[in-house]
Amino acid sequence: MAAIRLSLLLLKSLRSHIRNLKAEAIHRERHPGLTLGSPSRLTVSDPSALVVGDDVIIEAFSEILAIRNTPESSLPGFLTIGDHTRIGSFANIRATGGGISIGAHCLLAQHVSLIASNHARRTEDSFVEQAWRTDKAGVTIGNGVWIGTGAIILPGVSIGDNAIIGAGSVVTKNVPPGETWAGNPAQMIEAAP
């Protein structure tokens, strides 16, 4: 019985590995400038939902969604990543119900989350049944931005060029160019030079 379980587990693992290899081949063909660490999950609803620049690296164990249309939102989801951007392992990027734009020459450390949309809040429905907010959606990250380990960027936030977000921060409002923000909720700790 144990040998059968082990065989089934190995077969399941092999199938998952083959699926990942096929997905990586498709993404390499469509986005030759993207290096995607394995294993990672990159789910793209259609080719127009993902635009990747040259020399972009997404490290292993990341989960990236770029879903153009979803019944929960009237806003299109899309993900754009600029040239020479590095995204660390275990990234959680959810470009659905709003767009996420990451500029060029950015550095996103490990365990960073970018969330394009969130549930609305109405008392008559459970959260699972509610449509996503359209008034506060999408994330825009400028060029040359550094986002520290474990930071969470919430819907509706824009981060200006050359800004720094400290590790573990939860960013709930716009960050001007060149400033350093940290904390939960994040606030300015150093003005632009």
Q: Which residues are catalytic?
A: 119
Please choose, from the candidates 10, 58, 68, 5, the residue with its C-alpha nearest in 3D space to the C-alpha of residue 34: 58
Q: How many residues does the chain have?
A: 193
CB count, 10 Å around CB of 17?
A: 12
Q: Long-range CB contacts (< 8 A, 24+ apart) of 188-192?
A: 190/164, 192/162
To the nearest 10°, the Cα dihedral for 145, 150, 152, 158?
Answer: 0
